[in-house]
A and B are shown apart, each in its own frame.
Chain A
Amino acid sequence: MFSKIFTISKFTIIESLRNRLLWLSLLVVAISFGLVEFIGDLAITEHRVTQVAILAAYLRLSAVVIVTLFVVSSSVRELQDKTLEMILAMPIHRSSYYLGKLCGFIQVAAIVAVIFSSLVLLYAEPFQVLIWGLSLLLELVLVVALGLVMLFTFNQIPAALTGVFVFYAAARTATSIYLMSKYPIISHTTIAQKFMDGFVEILTWLLPDLHRFTQTEWLAYNTADWSLLIPVLSQTLIYLLLLSAIALFDFYRKNF
C-alpha cells in the first residue's frame, strides 16, 4: 500500500515540476520583491514593518491561490483524461490514490512555502520566519485537502475553485464576523438578526480557525514562539482528518 502511495505522490511532484509550478512561484517571489522595494520607498517611517507586513499578506494569499489552482487543475485533468479510471482499474485502493495525491500535493505545498519564506527572510528575523513558514505550510495543507474535497464534490474547475476560495475566505474571516455580530454598534433583536447571529456562530464551530494561522504580526513585531504553533498544528491535524474523511466518503461513492 505504501509503495503505491509513494508512487502516486512521486508522480504528482513530477507533474508539478512539468507544470512549471516552481517557475510560477519564483515569478511571484520576483514580483513581490519589486513591489515591496517600491513600497519601502513610499514609507516615511516603520520602513521594515510596512514592507514585511504587506509582503507577508501578499505571499500568504499568493501561496493559497497557486496551490489551489495546481491541486484543482491537475486533479480535474486526471478525471477528464480518464487517467483516474485507468489507475483505479489497477489493484489500487481508492484510499491509496487519495493519500498518494494528498502526500504529493503536501510536498508541493512545502516547496511553495519554502520558496516564499526565503524571500521573507530578507525582511524579518529568521526564527520568526521559521514559525511563519511552518504555519504557512500547515495552512496550505488544509487548502490542499479542501481542494481535493471540492474537486471530488463538483468535478468542475470553476465550481471547485469557487468552493475553495469561498470556504477559505469564510474560515479566515469567520471570527471577525462573529465578533461584529456579537458586539454590534446598534443592537437588534429581530428574528432575522438573531437567525444571522446564530448562523455566524455555527460557522465558527464548523470552519477551521484560520485566523490563528500565519500571522503577519509575528514577522512585523517578532511576537512568535513555538507555543503558538501548538493550536495551529492541532487544528490542522483535526481538520485534515475531517476533510480526508469527507473526501474519501465522496470518492468511494463515485462512479466513473
Chain B
Amino acid sequence: MLRRLIEKDRPLRDVPLPVTIMLLLLFAVQLAWHSQQAPVVARAEDLPPPKSARTYVISSFGEPIATSKVLNLWLQAFDNQPGVSIPLHALDYKVVESWLDTILELDPRGHYPMLVATRVYGSVSDRDKQREMMEYIFYKFNENPNKNWRWLAEAVITAKHELKDMKLALKYANALSKLATGPNVPYWAKDMKIIVLEDMGEVEAAKILVGGLIESGEITDPYELKFLQHKIEVLEQKVSNIRQDVDK
C-alpha cells in the first residue's frame, strides 16, 4: 500500500530545483523565527468574572445545560493553569460565588456547583474563606431548602468539626430542621439540631426538642421515631450521669 502511495505521485526529480530550495529555506526561516521569539512563561491568571447566563446560552447556540457542565469542569480545574498551580484559597471567592450562581442559573437542577462549594472551595485551609463558602451554601439553601438540604447538612459538619464553631453549626442545623420539610429530606438531616445541641452540652434542650418532635405527631416514619426514641434514652442516660456528677 505504501509503495502504491509513493508511486502514485510523480518522482521527486520532477520538482523544479528552485521549489525544493524554497521549501527547505522557508522551513529554516520558520525555525529561525521561532528561536527569536521570547520564551513562553507560565503566568497565573486571575479568575475573571462571569458573563450573564444569557450570554452563555447564546454563545452555545441555546445549550444551557451542556454549557453549565463545561463551565463546571472549567471552574473546577481553574487552579491548574498551564505550568502553574494556584492554591484554591488564593482565588477571589466573591468571583467564585458569582460563577457558581451563573452555572446554577444555566442548570437550576444541577448539584455540581453546590458540591464544589462544599467539598472543594469549602475544604480549604483558610478558615475565613471556608466560612465565606459555608455562608454561600446557607444562602443557596434558603433559596431552595428542599433541593439544597444535603449541602447545608455538610456545612453543619464542617462548622462543627473544621471551623469548631458550634454556634454556626447550630444556626445551620436549626435552618435545616425548620425549612427542609420536603418528603425527600431524611430524618437524620432534619434532626441534626439535636446532635449539635448534644455536642454543645445542651443535653436538656436536646431532650426537650426530641420529646417535642415525638409528641407533635408530625413524625410518622417508623425509622425516624425509633431513632428519636433511642436518642431520648441516650439523652436521659446523659442527664442522669450529669446529675449524679453534680450530687457527688
Contacts and interface: CB of A to CB of B under 8 A. Distances in A.
A211 B62 contact: yes
B66 A54 contact: yes
A50 B69 contact: yes
A129 B81 CA distance: 36
A45 B112 contact: yes
Dominant SS among interface residues on chain B? helix
Contacts of A54: 66, 69-70
Contacts of A177: 58
Interface stretch (B18-26, B31-39, B71-79, B122-130): B71-79
B61 A173 contact: yes
A39 interface: yes
B70 A46 contact: no
Contacts of A220: 65, 109
Contacts of B189: none
B54 interface: yes
B54 A44 contact: no
Interface string B45-74: 000000010100110111101111110110
A50 B62 CA distance: 17
Q: How large is the interface on B (under 10, 10 to 19, 20 to 34, 35 or more residues)?
A: 20 to 34
B57 A176 contact: yes
Contacts of B57: 173, 176
Nearest to A223: B109
B115 interface: yes
Interface string B145-181: 0000000000000000000000000000000000000
Contacts of A44: 76, 112, 115-116, 119-120
A175 B54 CA distance: 10
A225 B60 CA distance: 25
A24 interface: no
Nearest to A180: B54
Nearest to B112: A46
Contacts of B54: 176, 179-180
Contact of A217 (B58, B65, B115): B65
A42 B62 contact: no
Q: How large is the interface on A (under 10, 10 to 19, 20 to 34, 35 or more residues)?
A: 20 to 34
B61 A42 contact: no
A242 interface: no
Contacts of B72: 43, 50
Contacts of B61: 61, 168-169, 172-173
Interface string B87-108: 0000000000000000000010
A180 B111 CA distance: 26
A57 B66 contact: yes
Interface in B207-236: none
B9 to A, nearest CB: 22
Contacts of A42: 73, 76-77
B76 A210 contact: no
Contacts of B76: 42, 44
Interface in A36-55: 39, 42-46, 49-50, 53-54
Contacts of B116: 44
B110 to A, nearest CB: 6
Given A61-B61, A176-B57, A217-B65, A46 B111 contact: yes
Interface string A45-72: 1100110011011101100000000000
A216 interface: yes
B92 to A, nearest CB: 22
B66 A216 contact: yes
30 contacts: A39-B73, A42-B76, A44-B112, A45-B111, A45-B115, A46-B69, A46-B110, A50-B69, A50-B72, A50-B73, A53-B65, A53-B68, A53-B69, A54-B66, A54-B69, A57-B60, A57-B63, A58-B66, A168-B61, A173-B57, A173-B58, A173-B61, A175-B62, A176-B54, A176-B57, A179-B54, A210-B62, A216-B65, A217-B65, A221-B109
Interface of A: 39, 42-46, 49-50, 53-54, 56-58, 60-61, 168-169, 172-173, 175-177, 179-180, 185, 210-211, 216-217, 220-221
Interface of B: 52, 54, 57-58, 60-63, 65-70, 72-73, 76-77, 107, 109-112, 115-116, 119-120
| Ranked 9 nearest A-B pairs via Cβ | A57-B66, A57-B63, A172-B61, A172-B62, A50-B69, A53-B66, A53-B69, A173-B58, A45-B115
